[in-house]
Structure 1
Amino acid sequence: MISIQTTPALPASGPARRYAHLALLAVVITVALPVRAQVTQAYDRPPPGINMARAATNSITSGSARAATLRSYGAVNGLELNAHFTQGGPARASWDFPINANLANLAAVQLKLYCPRPALARQFNVYIKAGETWYSAAFAPAGKGTWEEIVIPKTRFVPEGAADSWQHCSFIRLAAWQGSSGQLAIHLADLHFLPANVNAALLRSSGKNLKESYRYARHFGEALYQIGILPAVLEEPDCAGTAIRPFAMSILAYPPAASPAQNSALIYALKRGSKLCAFHTLSPILATEMELPAGKFTTASATGLALGGVIPSPTQLPEARPFRQQSTAFLAVQQLPPQLQVAAWWADSNGRTTSWPAIIECPKGFWMTHVYLNQDPGPGAMTIAAMLAQHTPELFQKAAKFLYYQTRQLYLDAAPSSQQASQRLLNDAAAAYKKGQFSTAIDLARQCQDALANASGGNADGAVTRAPRRDEIRAVWSRRPDGLPGRSWEDTAAILAKGRFNAVFPNVASAYSTAYPSALVSQSSRGDALADAISACRRHRLAIHAWVSCLGVEDASDNTLQTLKRQGRLQQNDAGATRNWLCPTQVANRDLLLSIVTELAGRYALDGVQFDLIRYPETNSCFCPSCRKSFETYLRRPVSSWPAAVQSSGSDRRAWETFRQDVINALVADLAKAARTARPGIAVSAAVYPDQASAKTMVGQNWHLWLNKGWVDFICPMNYRASTALFAGDLDRQTHLLGNGDKIIAGIGVSSERLELSELQRQIAAARAANARGYILFELTPREAYDLIPKLSP
């Protein structure tokens, strides 16, 4: 039970919409709310939220934030939050609101806000203090000059430290990080804590595999939210058996991370009638309780297959749909006892059903023989929903209701021209819901959301879309050195060329392995993937830039990492703990990278070479003996207090920041020289942090200097944003700093941010509006290759 007051429900009548009236230099801003039809109306009773009057009185500000002001927005009271960002001032503005809440079963946080100039901030966050731990989630206002409703599933919240119980939450914080100087205003009309809209719980584990557990749980949260399902999300400290038991169905996204206590709690719930939907390797006691076979860990290649997807059984899962999932391994099960049924089969890369079960149904729930990757969000979510629906009545009805109200609010908040393009779809969704055709209603509501997004225009501020430059670079990063899973480089290059792309950046070299025969480090694959890529790209007129991972070695094998650690070549934090990054002050590391770049550029007819991870991992690195010695040489004197003297309040802090930049600068200059010496005329580039100021102080990247010195020909800033407004804000700051966009190929986080086609198109349009040299997608996966790239407009 959440012991905080609820905000009163707003009347559903009133004018269809009234625009915010903003007067230059005016003291008072009048902002009126549009008609209300938000997701809170999908619940039988108003969800709990913060009391705005109390929040205004008790709020605590920090950084560039000004005191919260209670404002009247139509029929409700809300908060006006102002921040004054200045050059050299505090980088963050935050507002803390005391609460006294049990959010153990929280599903999502819902905000209703209006932010007229979101591009002034480079990032927005919501924080919740649960126990002694702050949990953080980013959000992104669209910035289209209207009110907007933002729903943040709990699966997006990650702890800044050890996971803790959400039974005692004491603060909620809104924060904005400075992007540009100016007056930022956020008008907040609602802040609600949404309970689950279905009788299901998604469990997160916080053991040694916390990172994986949270990642796979987020896959589920994002997929289910897309079709209107918000399960309760339980942290491991809140997963007592009595807490799980009331839910008809639980989801365990990554069982290897579950602790013995969490497994015991699940068994307690299962014995008392609750069901479980589990993925990947189960603990022996959990597998025994569910009467499931262990399965044998098997790589797809060992079976002679390239797994391409999952094909559900229509009799076992009537509402499920085939979905794409290129798993490289799975738990092979061949013979099933009679109490088990195959609910879905693995398919190969050509879509043919294999003999390997992908999803198995048992009396106590379901088990999928690999993790869920969320590579095909819509169909994948419908299959998960079909599994949950077997034990949670009315699931599709409640999902359709939630999605309808969310879509209707988007419709009411949109401009009249956008409404005209989507009204029929919204009406059809309502009609399908009334007829009980809930899956159809979900599909139509999602189509309506896409239509609204497409009709809203190409960029955040309504500027006229610019035609592509004649020399525009349209590129993708390919993490896989051998192209798309189960496809040759010939197939991969043909798909890119048909989609009007003209460059590819495959990840082919690092300090521990290469995708080609090397005399310096081990080879990551058979044959010569780079030679295959070059040959295919030449035939399809694609430029090829070799992606080189420089200092980061986190993905290296345990044996390699242990060897590097014994040799003292890895970075250390201030406590002396090893970081899996090469220390850039050590001669052996620098010489290895120089040799790799020389070998790579000298042997292969590349168009370019790109340096990635050419930075420190964060501010708290590196403090190894080599760095101390190098810094003392730089200062020409010893440092008595190490590392305190170079930390945030230390006497040598500024010199330390400059030193770190100089170390990375020298490495960039040397690597660029090596590449151009080995292959004159080769293009040299770098993947960089988007904000120059924070990139310099946090990770030692002074990419502005790299361009001015001519060490790199262009940069690919990683502008990975969920909204066009923030993406365009990044580009605006970058082009302003450089004078133009001629040396910027804007990185778009289509994969990392799970961008839909309409949002991807808007961000491409924003890159063109900024007159950037081009754009590059992170990253090339089957979803991008098959669902998005073929549909992109020229």
Structure 2
Amino acid sequence: MLFAKFASQRLSYAATIVILVCLLSLCSGGLNLTVAQQAEIAIVLPKKTPQVSEGDVQYARSVAKRFNRMLNGIGLTAATLEEASLSEAQLKSRRLVILPLNPVIAPKTAGLLNSFVANGGKLFVTYTLSDTVAPLLGLRQTNWLKQEAPGHFASIQLNAPDILDMPVSIRQASWNITVAEPTTPDTEIIGYWHNANGESTGLPALSVGKSGVFFSHIFLPDDIQRKMQMLAALLGHLVPEFRRTFAKQAIATMTTIGHTKDFTELKQFVQQSDVPEANEALKTGTDLMNRARVEYDAEAYNTAITVARASRAEFSKAYFLSHGSVETEGRAVWNHSGLGAYPGDWERSAQELASAGVNIVLPNMAWAGVAHYPSKILPQSKTFTRYGDQIAQCVEAAHNHSLEVHVWKITWNLEGAPKEFVEKIRAEGRTQVSATGQALNWLCPSHPKNVLLEVESSLEIVANYDVDGIHLDYIRYPGSHACYCDGCRQRFVLATRLQIDKWPAAVLPKTGTHSEKYIEWRAQQITRLVRLLHKRLREADPKIKISAAVFGWYPGCITTIGQDWIAWAKAGYVDFVCPMNYTESTDYFTELLVNQLALMPKDVAIYPGIGATASNSLLTPDAVVEQIYLSRNLGASGWTIFDYSLDISETVLPAFTIGVTKRKAKPPH
């Protein structure tokens, strides 16, 4: 597929907080844009063509969704339009058109965009630069490049003195880029890619011309706050009238801090804490708040934005300082890379986490078909080849700083596994098959050899490393569309003694005659592995702890993915669970956790997952602290942050250390 290549792959505390722009939905004191303002931006999605598959279109839709969330964060909204039905009338009222991932532009669309630009409209294009769009931006594509190694494209250094409020740099760990060069003096390269060592690659990242902007990759969720600042600066440069909206948004979000929804609630919460430093920050923030409003009324919008951000920084500091710290609490972080925040330096990561009051690290060290350590059972990863044995390095560093290490083991999912490994497994009939007959890169949970592989790979970790626990993830099916392989049919019939004439129609959700039986049987396959792991791991090490990352909405996850984690807890198979309650909604987070706590046995801890940098929730530090505050008040035994990285290091951990984790704690499990 055309887009497959797209998806294949320290600031001071004060400086960090100053650039924060709230990503949460606005409260009643929020922005009140007019209909005309809302209609001024359009995001145009590509249409399906012989070169662009339906999957490509869906990926473009997800990129557009992130773009829209960034726009919302700076006070703008955009209409999402389909290229297939794009018309002159739809573009007439727009000031800006965004092409998030549009590799093929139809002749009709090209004509519409030409007219749009000729009439003063602006374009914002990311990653794919078609031959018809490039001239409108004064550019010519010269190359498409993949990273030479991880960290090749790590950050962008920006030099745009004429663009107000532009940050000097942003972080983005891209894996591919489109290279383009200016064809006119009106277009200027204002940002270049730098590698993880801070060295310039000499490759352009961001270009600006009279008609718009080109960014050489898609916007990724890392360093999202500074990216939003950069986006606002660019859009304010292209459409100066937008700056009033940005100022209004900055003022509207000054006092929406954490669980306090307005200045009155914030003031009350801070004053009740009786922390002198918090009250000092509150006073400073109040003075800045009043000044920001004066600047806005004087139509000094750029100054108003700067002062409003500084006000929010002080209010956030007051909020962080006002939180108490407890002595018994599970304080965990997931680390998806398995490398910590600083590849090759687990000592630095462990020291940083311990200093921030964290007591559990969940590093992703193994998938179903690849390992970041010298496994004799699973193929070794490129991470292992480059950085060495990650479990050994992590355990040594973490234990030196009194951190527990629960190795994050992804089950069933073959993502990242070598092609030959997957092909061998598939040839043995051991991979999943969808309801439509599509081969999936997942191990079939009902196949005995796959169960044995998962058990043995986990036992290998416990036998060779002084880990504190095994943390299971993807301990489920990919969805209700799987698995319907021939092996599942045979084993289901053998277990139930049912006569199945039409497969998989007879067992499909909702419509199948035996759908309920099949739902139950699927869940049994997943529970079997959890039960076996509990038995075998405890035999190997009676002190080992077993935990799992689980879907938040229960019991719906039984039907869709075969994950009956409440049953695991009641049977004593797990010591704690981390429901992935990734949401920006306070109400939904509360609803999920209340339901989970009501169902869980009291002797099994819940450390709810907080999606600080998850794909479907991007939280500011005060929003992260808010969800910790809610978790404590609702009765959870701790919390788990996704995902420990430079983002968390720079923005969230500093907020923890002055409040919620200022006292050390021991986990209760």
Q: 1:206 to 1:415 in 2, by over 3 A?
A: same
1:326 aligns with 2:179: no
1:765 to 611, 629, 639: 629
Q: What corresponds to 1:418 in structure 2?
A: 266
Count of matched residue pairs: 606
Cα displacement string for residues 295-330 of structure 1 (whole angstroms, at most 9, x for unaligned residues):
44445555x965443232233423311343232434
Cα displacement string for residues 386-427 of structure 1 (whole angstroms, at most 9, x for unaligned residues):
222333231212322355457689999747343675754442
Q: 1:258 to 1:473 in 2, by over 3 A?
A: farther
| C-alpha RMSD of matched pairs (Å) | 3.7
Q: What corresponds to 1:774 in structure 2?
A: 638
The letter for the 1-side match of 2:358 is F
Q: 1:263 to 1:699 in 2, by over 3 A?
A: farther
Contact 1:200/1:392 (8 A) holds in 2 = no
Q: Give the Cα separation in 2 of the matches to 1:785 and 1:612.
A: 23
Structure 2, gaps ≥5 residues long: 1-22, 49-54, 269-281, 662-669
Q: Give the Cα separation in 2 of the matches to 1:238 and 1:196.
A: 22
Q: 1:756 to 1:561 in 2, by over 3 A?
A: same
Structure 1 residue 678: Cα displacement: 4.2
1:718 to 574, 580, 584: 580
Q: What corresponds to 1:10 in structure 2?
A: none
Q: How does 1:95-494 map to 2 (within 5 A)?
A: 148=28, 194-197=35-38, 199-205=40-46, 207=48, 208-240=55-87, 243-244=90-91, 247-256=94-103, 265-266=112-113, 269-270=116-117, 274-287=121-134, 290-302=137-149, 307-331=153-177, 339=185, 340-349=187-196, 355-404=202-251, 414=262, 416-418=264-266, 424-446=287-309, 467-470=325-328, 472-484=329-341, 488-494=345-351
Q: What corresponds to 2:653 in structure 1?
A: 789
1:648 to 498, 510, 514: 510
1:632 aligns with 2:493: yes
1:695 counterpart SS class: helix
Q: What corresponds to 1:519 in structure 2?
A: 376
Richer in helix (by share)? 2
1:549 aligns with 2:395: no
Structure 1 residue 564: Cα displacement: 4.9
Q: Give the Cα separation in 1 of the matches to 2:36 and 2:601.
A: 48
Q: Give the Cα separation in 2 of the matches to 1:450 and 1:726.
A: 26
Q: Give the Cα separation in 2 of the matches to 1:294 and 1:534.
A: 47
Q: TM-score, normalised by structure 2?
A: 0.80
2:613 counterpart SS class: coil
Structure 1 residue 584: Cα displacement: 0.9
1:703 aligns with 2:565: yes
1:730 aligns with 2:592: yes
Contact 2:44/2:80 (8 A) holds in 1 = yes
1:659 aligns with 2:516: no
Q: Give the Cα separation in 2 of the matches to 1:357 and 1:572.
A: 43
Q: 1:211 to 1:260 in 2, by over 3 A?
A: farther
2:605 counterpart SS class: coil
Contact 2:255/2:312 (8 A) holds in 1 = no
Q: 1:450 to 1:730 in 2, by over 3 A?
A: farther
Q: 1:440 to 1:675 in 2, by over 3 A?
A: farther
Cα displacement string for residues 510-556 of structure 1 (whole angstroms, at most 9, x for unaligned residues):
12211122233332221222222222223322211111111233555
Q: Give the Cα separation in 2 of the matches to 1:536 and 1:408.
A: 40
Q: Give the Cα separation in 2 of the matches to 1:456 and 1:609.
A: 35
Cα displacement string for residues 230-289 of structure 1 (whole angstroms, at most 9, x for unaligned residues):
234323334346644653432222234877875665456446654322222323443355
Contact 1:715/1:744 (8 A) holds in 2 = yes
Q: 1:241 to 1:352 in 2, by over 3 A?
A: farther
1:690 aligns with 2:570: no
Cα displacement string for residues 639-678 of structure 1 (whole angstroms, at most 9, x for unaligned residues):
2343343332544333222212211111111233343344
Q: TM-score, normalised by structure 1?
A: 0.68
Deviates more, 1:493-502 or 1:607-616: 493-502
> What is the identity percentage for the equivalent residue pairs of Structure 1 and Structure 2?
27
Deviates more, 1:442-451 or 1:210-219: 442-451
The letter for the 1-side match of 2:625 is Q
Q: 1:522 to 1:417 in 2, by over 3 A?
A: closer
Q: Give the Cα separation in 1 of the matches to 2:135 and 2:449.
A: 51
Q: How does 1:56-95 map to 2 (within 5 A)?
A: none
The letter for the 1-side match of 2:531 is A
The letter for the 1-side match of 2:372 is A
1:325 counterpart SS class: strand
Contact 1:715/1:745 (8 A) holds in 2 = yes
Q: 1:479 to 1:195 in 2, by over 3 A?
A: farther
Q: Give the Cα separation in 2 of the matches to 1:258 and 1:562.
A: 37
Q: Give the Cα separation in 2 of the matches to 1:456 and 1:531.
A: 38
1:758 counterpart SS class: helix
Cα displacement string for residues 123-177 of structure 1 (whole angstroms, at most 9, x for unaligned residues):
xxxxxxxxxxxxxxxx9999xxxx84788xxxxxxxxxxxxxxxxxxxxxxxxxx
Q: Give the Cα separation in 1 of the matches to 2:47 and 2:30.
A: 27
The letter for the 1-side match of 2:160 is P
Q: What corresponds to 2:391 in structure 1?
A: 530
Structure 1 residue 503: Cα displacement: 1.6
